[in-house]
Structure 1
Amino acid sequence: MSAFYDLTIQDLTGEILPLSSYAGKVVMIVNVASECDYTPQYKQLQKTYDTFKDQGFEVLGVPCNQFWAQEPGDAAQIKSFCEKNYAITFKLTEKVDVNGENQCPLYHFLTNERSPKPGQIDWNFEKFIIDKTGQIVERFAPELDPSDKAIQDKIQAYLA
């Protein structure tokens, strides 16, 4: 079993989310922020989730305030913003650090040597794809929109 499935993270409501609940699914993990130039990607993340969720695809949004303080809100503010502006229905986690000494365990896993592109997170909306076996198989730059054909094709391939 993948180490990914051994991890847990709190969701936005404070409940523990065991990542083992994603076993057998393809998961896109994205560090998100409400006040970033890339924030409109929420729309395409939701659309991608809606397109593939019935095939075993999940999106996990991970709020982070480490890049120019672009996610200043608390859990209630983040939830309200995402629901009101983008009708988000995929899971959002608690706000975490994705880099540095307080890096959350999930991002330690995503950025270590097992990653196809190891190294720290550069900016908000960096995307990782975890395959059905819990392996990190893709890492996409923040500027690459989730609706981009390269991302959509990879999701379809991993779902097949």
Structure 2
Amino acid sequence: MPNAHDFTFSKLNEPGEIKLSDYAGKAVLVVNVASACGLTPQYRELEALYEAKAPKGLVVLGVPCNDFGGQEAGTEKDIRTFCDNSYHVTFPMTGKVDIIPSAKRHPFYKWIADELGESALPRWNFHKYLVGKDGELAEAFSSKAAPFEPAVLEAIHRALAA
């Protein structure tokens, strides 16, 4: 049975891949992101969370997607520039992916749909999946769940302690 460690993403605006297997032994918060969304300020909290928890084994992984309101319409270079200049993002970022059109859906999100059903897929930008150290899906949070909400922090704490 597959788990998150079986999936790879292209890197944002640079050659190479991000292999989730490289994060075995770490908890990973996978977040579909967008540059022109009302929730875009979550980047600030995601970066603060990454800076605070990376030494303890948390990785935040930003996954740009234009499926929700066309709010990530720029090129990968545009996205990288926006993240660097507006939010000083240092956590890893993937290349743009498709989530909603099932024919083009990224394999990670296909796995989510296969495991949990289509209703578990993001409905908007900044949906969060917490992957445990073992690569299993530990928790999912809606777009409106801020990175420092108690439920999110408690789930991260549990994942890091496992």
TM norm structure 2? 0.92
Query: Is 2:112–2:121's contact at 8 Å kept on the other side of the alignment?
Result: no
**What pairs with 1:1-150 in structure 2 (closer than 5 Å)?**
3-12=3-12, 13-100=14-101, 101-114=103-116, 119-150=120-151
Partner of 2:158: 157
Q: Which runs of 4+ in 1 moved over 2 A?
A: 110-115, 117-120
Take 2:55 and 2:2, find their aligned partners in 1: how far apart are those partners?
A: 23
Q: CA deviation at 1:119?
A: 3.0
Unaligned runs of 5+ in 2: none
Q: Deviations over 1:55-96 (max 9, x none)?
A: 110010000001111001111110010010101000000001
Residue type at the aligned position of 1:119: A
Aligned residues, how many? 159
User: Could you report, residue by residue, the CA deviation over 1:89-148 in whole angstroms, capped at 9, with x for unpaired residues?
Assistant: 000000010122210011112233257x95332000000000010000100000111111
Classify 1:118/1:24 alpha carbon distance in 2 versus 1 (closer, same or farther; 3 Å). Answer: farther
State the shift of 1:154 in Å: 1.1
Percent identity over the alignment is 38
Separation (CA, whole Å) in 1 of partners of 2:6 and 2:27: 16
Change (3 A) 1:2 1:55: farther
Kept after mapping to 2: 8 A contact 1:14/1:94? no
- Structure 2 counterpart SS, 1:113: helix
TM superposition score normalised by structure 1 = 0.93
How far apart are residue 2 of structure 1 and its match? 5.1
Greater alpha carbon shift after TM alignment, 22-31 vs 105-114: 105-114
Q: Distance in 2 between matches of 1:130 and 1:118?
A: 18
* Structure 1: distance between partners of 2:74 and 2:139: 29
Aligned AA (1:111): A
